[in-house]
Structure 1
Amino acid sequence: MMTVEEKKYKKWIVALSIIIPLAVAMLFGVNLRKLGYDVEPLTFLPPIYATINGITAVLLVAAVSAVKRGNRKLHENLIKICMGCSIAFLLMYVAYHMTSESTLYGGEGAIRYVYFFILISHILLSIIIIPFVLFTFVRGIAGAYERHKKLARITYPMWLYVAITGVIVYVMISPYYI
C-alpha cells in the first residue's frame, strides 16, 4: 500500500524518469561550438565528474553501513549527498558534451569489447536507476521502511555499479582525450 507521500510524488518520479534521459539525449547531440557559439570547451570536467562518481560510490557504501548500524539520520544525509553528486555529475557531463568533441575510445582487441560492455551497461543502468533511486528515497522519507528496504536491495547494487563503472569508463578512455 502506497503512503500519501508516495502517491504525491509518483507522478513527479515517473515524469523525471522520462524527462531526464530524453533531455540528456537531446542535449548530448547539441554542440554549442558547432552551432557557432564562442564557448570554451570544458575539457577539464571529465576527471571532476569521474571523481564525483567515485565519491558517490564511497558514500553509498557508507550510507548502507550507517543504516546497518542503526544510524538512519546519517544514512538519509549520505543518500541526499549521493543524489546531489549524481545531479552534479549529470550537469557536468552534459556541459562537457555540449562544449567539446566526443572522445573516441582507441583501445584495440579484447579490451575494446570490455570497454564497450562496461560503457553500454553503465549507460543503460544510469537510465534505469532514476526511478529506482527516487522511489526508494521517497519510501524512506515517507517512513515506509520495509518497502524502502525491499526496493533498496535492488537500487543499491545498481546505483553502486553505475557509480563505479563511471570511474572505470573514465580511466579507460582518459588516455584518448585530446
Structure 2
Amino acid sequence: MVSNNPKKYNVWIWILSVAIPLMVAILFSVKIPIPGVERLGFLPPIYATINAITAILLVLAVIQIKKGNKKNHELIMKTCIGLSALFLVMYVIYHMTSHSTPYGGEGVVKYVYFFILITHIVLSITVIPFVLITFVRALTGQFEKHKKIARITFPIWLYVAVSGVVVYVMISPYY
C-alpha cells in the first residue's frame, strides 16, 4: 500500500539521488574483462534507442495529461522511469566492460560535442531528484505540487534523453 505521507519518501529520494551518480562514478573505474569479447559494442545503440523512446514518451505523456488522460499519463511516465532504469543498467554494464571511446571530431564540432556531453552528464545527475520528487508527489496525490515541479522536471529530463541520442550519434563513427 502506498503512503500518502511524502516525507517518508524524502530519505529515499536523497539516498538514491546521491547513490546513483556515486555508484556510476565508482563503477566506471571497474573493468570486467569478458573472455573472447573485446567490448559490448551492441549496447550503445540499444541504450541510445532507449533514450529516443523515452524522449518520445515524455512528450506523449504531456500530451496525455493535457487531454485529461491521467491513466495514460501515469502508465507512460512509469514506462519512462522503467526505461531510464534499464538505460542506466546497460550504460553501466557497457562502461564496466569497455573502455571509453575518445571523440575524434575536430574544430567547432568538437566543442559542440563536448558542450552537449558535459551538459548531458550534469543534467542527468541533476534530474534524478527531480524525477523522484515529481513521481512521489503524484504517488501521494499532491497533484498541484506535482504539476509545479513537473514543469521543471520535464524539460530537463527531455534534454537528457535527446542529448543522449545526439551524443551517441556524434561519437558512433569512432567506436
> Smaller-chain TM-score range?
over 0.9
- 1:1-178 → structure 2 map (5 Å cutoff): 4-33=4-33, 38=35, 40=37, 41-177=39-175
Instruction: Give how far 1:5 is off.
Output: 2.9
Classify 1:134/1:106 alpha carbon distance in 2 versus 1 (closer, same or farther; 3 Å): same
State TM-score, norm by structure 1: 0.94
Q: Check the 8 A contact 2:4/2:141 in 1, yes or no.
A: no
Q: Distance in 2 between matches of 1:81 and 1:103?
A: 30
* Ranges in structure 1 where 5+ consecutive residues have no aligned partner: none
Classify 1:29/1:64 alpha carbon distance in 2 versus 1 (closer, same or farther; 3 Å): same
Instruction: Give how far 1:6 is off.
Output: 1.0
Across the aligned residues of Structure 1 and Structure 2, the Cα RMSD in angstroms comes to: 1.2
Q: Distance in 1 between matches of 2:124 and 2:65?
A: 24
Instruction: Give how far 1:92 is off.
Output: 0.5
Specify the code of the residue in structure 2 equivalent to 1:120.
Answer: I
* 2:73 match: secondary structure: helix
Aligned pair count reads 172
| Deviation sequence 1:82-134 (CA, Å, 0-9, x none) | 00110011100110011112100000000000000000000000000000000
Q: Distance in 2 between matches of 1:67 and 1:111?
A: 38
* 1:5 match: secondary structure: coil
Structure 1 runs (4+) greater than 4 angstroms displaced: none
Identity %: 63
